[in-house]
Amino acid sequence: MRVLMLSWEYPPLIYGGLARHVQALSTALAGVGHEVVVATQTTEDTPADQVVDGVRVLRVRQEPPLVPRDDLFAWTMSLDHALTRGALTALGGWRPDVVHAHDWLVAHAAATVRTVYDVPLVATIHATEAGRWNGWLPEPMNRAIHSVEWWLTYLADRVICCSGYVAHECGTLFATPGPKLEVIPNGVDLATWTVSGAERARARSEWGGHGPLVVFTGRLEYEKGVQTLLAAMPRLRRRHPGIRLLVAGRGSHEAALRAEARRLRLGRSIRFAGWLDDTELPPLVAAADVVAVPSLYEPFGLVALEAAAAGTPVVASQRGGLAEIIKDHETGLLVDAGSPADWADAIDRIVTEPDLGAGLAVLARAQASESFRWESVAAATVRAYERAATIEAPQPRPDFVVREGNQFTLAAEPASDADHDDRR
């Protein structure tokens, strides 16, 4: 099968888990004989057209008008024009059998390319804007993103969701019919996260100090919940004076987190490590006593799966997809997302009961090996492609998303001229 994937990020350009997902999935598909092309944005010093691990990667430059990234919607439209041009001009006689779009940022490019090639469209929804905002869409930008997400799921012949939680979101937020949804989890490469004792010792020496080491990895955004970990640290320091929290990642919430750490006078018990590459991150995760995933909103929870693959105990929020990955007191500990006291207690249990932590880690790694291999994810994705090509996808009847205040409803008929300003 010939697959054209559209993604706004792809290694070495990594903002979050989406880039690693697309890379691993496309590589796994290519590894079993499928022809895969990924169209994405360029970075400095990366070729415009190259083959990496059997995957052809087309990298395009944002087209004028060139806008700053903080004007997200205008920036996205400019990128989508470039992705469309790249996909339609650089492939020559190669034509895809299916177009696979990853999240709303590539929706407009995907819609155009699928129309030109007259092939099925499959969309993977990695997260939703309403979910990130706890069900609210407070600003015009949020509402605009929400409308594009709805439009993408409406156009797609199949909608892949990384968890049952996201599938439920699509059903309730976008009225996506159940038969159109495919729940296919993320995967993990155990080899990448298998770390030698020497590597683990070096990472522990570099990052860990002399006390217990708690690690968070991920984007530094409010919904990732790092502020809850900071609030738990004074309690943990009283119980374990040498404990350290290492925060690896970057994001728009970093300045606020640093300010909160100063307010709490955490001093050397916290360290912000910034962004770590794929050679630095696995040894760090493997060296930790606990990996903490305190998300307030988490569609899947790839960080928890990677920690399991590294053999490190996980304490995670009982939110979203995390509750589908982790079985409480069997493959990890689940905690109320916003309770610093509960987080301190759960981390304290792992630190003071090493046998408990070791047992959780063993079962979690076994589950990762059995249920979350990329080969299985790729096979399930191919079946979704085949269904998109052979089975007519049920569509919701309505053609318009109508906003009333902060709530979105679906309407079967166009809004009247008087309501035009409220139509999304």
Q: Residues 363, 277: one domain? A: yes
Distance between CA 6 and CA 17 in Å, rounded? 15
> In the predicted model, what is the mean pLDDT of residues 402-423?
42
Domain stop point among 333, 353, 372: 372
pLDDT bucket at 406, cuts 50 / 70 / 90: very low
> In the predicted model, what is the mean pLDDT of residues 271-283?
93
The pLDDT score that the predictor gives to residue 397 is 52
Tens of pLDDT, residues 80-133: 999 999 999 989 889 999 999 999 999 999 999 999 999 999 999 999 999 988
Q: Residues 390, 349: one domain? A: no
Q: Residues 294, 176: one domain? A: no
Q: Residues 251, 356: one domain? A: yes
Q: Residues 110, 246: one domain? A: no
Tens of pLDDT, residues 12-56: 988 888 999 999 999 999 999 999 999 999 988 899 999 999 999
Sign, CA dihedral 293-220-299-98, equals negative
The pLDDT score that the predictor gives to residue 421 is 36
pTM of the model: 0.88
Residue 399: is its pLDDT beyond 70?
no
In a domain, 192, yes or no: no
The share of the chain scoring above pLDDT 70, in percent, equals: 93
Q: Residues 141, 203: one domain? A: no
The pLDDT score that the predictor gives to residue 283 is 96
The pLDDT score that the predictor gives to residue 47 is 92
Domain stop point among 357, 372, 387: 372
From 314, 301, 319, 320, select the one nearest 363 (Cα to Cα).
314
**Does 68 sit behind a cis peptide bond, omega within 30 degrees of 0 on the bond before it?**
no
The pLDDT score that the predictor gives to residue 74 is 86
End-to-end CA distance of the chain: 36
The pLDDT score that the predictor gives to residue 140 is 87
The number of distinct structural domains making up the chain is 2
Do 59 and 47 meet the contact criterion of CB atoms below 8 Å apart?
A: yes
From 92, 113, 251, 98, select the one nearest 182 (Cα to Cα).
98
Q: Whole domain around residue 12: which residue ranges?
A: 2-187+377-422
> In the predicted model, what is the mean pLDDT of residues 367-387?
96
pLDDT bucket at 396, cuts 50 / 70 / 90: low
Q: Residues 358, 383: one domain? A: no
The pLDDT score that the predictor gives to residue 15 is 86
In a domain, 249, yes or no: yes
Q: CATH number of the domain that 51 lies in? A: 3.40.50.2000
Do 51 and 37 meet the contact criterion of CB atoms below 8 Å apart?
A: no
Q: Residues 368, 381: one domain? A: no
Do 161 and 182 meet the contact criterion of CB atoms below 8 Å apart?
A: yes
Tens of pLDDT, residues 333-358: 999 988 999 999 999 999 999 999 99
